[in-house]
Amino acid sequence: MQQTSNLPIGVFDSGMGGLTVLSALHSSLPQEHFIYLGDTARLPYGTKTRETVIKYAEQAASALVARGIKALVVACNTASGIALPALQKRFAPLPVYGVVEPGAIAAVHAASIAAIGTSVVVLATESTISSGAYQKAITKLAPQIRIFGRACPLWVTLAEMGNRDANLTRDILAHDIRGFLQKGPCVFLLGCTHFPVFSQALAEISSTVTVVDSAATTAAVVAEKLKTLNLLTNSLLKDNLLVDDLLSDAKQGQTLYLATDGAARFKQVGGQFLNCALDEVELVDL
Ligand code: DGL
């Protein structure tokens, strides 16, 4: 039987956005295997009701759990903000990690090293903004920080269509953030995993703002937690000091990509999110 620590880590999002988190996970945990699921048939999650987001998140998670995973990363702010407790309860004792708390850590850190009085502007989906998840997570870490929220419903579609560099995209980004550029120093927190593809464009629209997202902090949290749980690949074997297993440390992990619709588009556009070409994408039904 396969060691639990050698099973893949499951990662899901409503679409390709979670690939920005997967990219950070690849960097932090290069030896791990991953199964990534993009629920492209039902995207966007960010305009759906709470009940629907929980149902979709549970179905996506179930599909990954059925393939055998050692941990689950909810690489979607909308699902993390709304469905994380339900997923943790339903799939216990499987470790389930979200992106909202790590995103809040990144924003608070950026604000703390910026000018005094720097506020945080959360740019996210409608559901994430109305859930108040980021407001709660940031206030818990730094109650003094002023927080603004802005729903950016068009951004997910623009990102998913691969329109990262279009002039119309820049106009929409500029329109949505313009009001905050007058409010004094601020950190823009990309509270949707689709949005990091716009980091460059946002920096060009305003060279004075700081833009952060949850990808790197999520990967750091996941790496730390899996280490504590002794769930890193080969970690159990390494403790037994088996030579073969030590040699296998050098091996690069594999990633399996699943999508519920549009596998060809996923493969073609996914590279913008992952920062490298994608392997084959398998079509699945939830
Ligand atoms: N990428 C997802 C998030 O982080 C949501 C996009 C959507 O489906 O609306 O919120």
Domain holding 86: CATH number? Answer: 3.40.50.1860
* Residue that finishes a domain, picked among 158, 184, 214: 214
pLDDT at residue 187 greater than cutoff 80: yes
Query: Are 94 and 111 within one domain?
Result: no
Structural domains in the chain (count): 2
Q: Residue 26 sits in which domain range? A: 2-98+216-283
pLDDT tens figures, 87-118 = 999 999 999 999 999 999 999 999 999 888 89
Question: Which amino acid belongs to residue 120?
Answer: V
Domain boundary among 214, 234, 268: 214
232-245 b/e (C-beta count within 10 Å ≥ 16 → b): bbbbbbbeeeeeeb
Question: 10 Å Cβ neighbour count for 210?
Answer: 18
232 shares a domain with 138: no
Per-residue pLDDT at 238: 45
pLDDT at 195: 98
Q: Residue 13 Cα, ligand 1 centroid: separation in angstroms?
A: 7
What pLDDT is attached to residue 38? 98
Q: Please report which confidence band the pLDDT of residue 239 belongs to, taking 50, 70 and 90 as the band edges.
A: very low
Same domain, 92 and 228: yes
Picking from 154, 187, 214, the residue at the C-terminal end of a domain is 214
- Determine contact, residues 272/51, Cβ cutoff 8 Å: no
Distance 17 CA to ligand 1 centre (A): 7
Instruction: Check whether residue 29 and residue 80 sit in a common domain.
Output: yes
Look at residue 243 in the predicted model and tell me its pLDDT: 45
* Residue 218 neighbours by CB under 8 Å, 6+ apart: 21, 24, 25, 73, 75, 97, 99, 102, 103
**3-state class (DSSP) for residue 187:** strand
* Residue pair 53/127 in contact by the 8 Å Cβ criterion: yes
Q: For residues 87 and 226, state if they share a domain.
A: yes
Residues with catalytic roles: 76, 192
Nearest CA to ligand 1 atom 8: 44
Amino acid at 135: Q
Whether residue 113 sits in one domain with residue 209: yes
For ligand 1, whether the C-beta of 48 sits within 6 Å is no
Query: Of all atoms in ligand 1, which is nearest to the CA of residue 128?
Result: 10
Pocket flag, ligand 1, residue 40 (CB < 6 Å): no
Q: What mean pLDDT value characterizes the chain?
A: 93
How much is the pTM?
0.94
Instruction: Give yes or no for residue 151 CB within 6 A of ligand 1.
Output: no
Average pLDDT over residues 252-279: 94
- The per-residue b/e assignment along 3-29, b for 16 or more CB within 10 angstroms, e otherwise, is eebbbbbbbbbbbbbbbbbbbbbbebb
One-letter amino acid for residue 177 of the chain: I
Indicate if 210 and 222 belong to the same structural domain: no
Could you identify the atom of ligand 1 that is nearest to the CA of residue 18? 1
Is 5 a pocket residue for ligand 1 (Cβ < 6 Å)?
Answer: no
Ligand 1 contact via 194 beta carbon (within 6 Å):
yes
Quick one: which of 256, 247, 277, 224 has its CA closest to 29? Answer: 224
For residue 249, the CA-to-ligand 1 centroid distance in Å is 34
Q: Is the CB of 56 under 6 A from ligand 1?
A: no
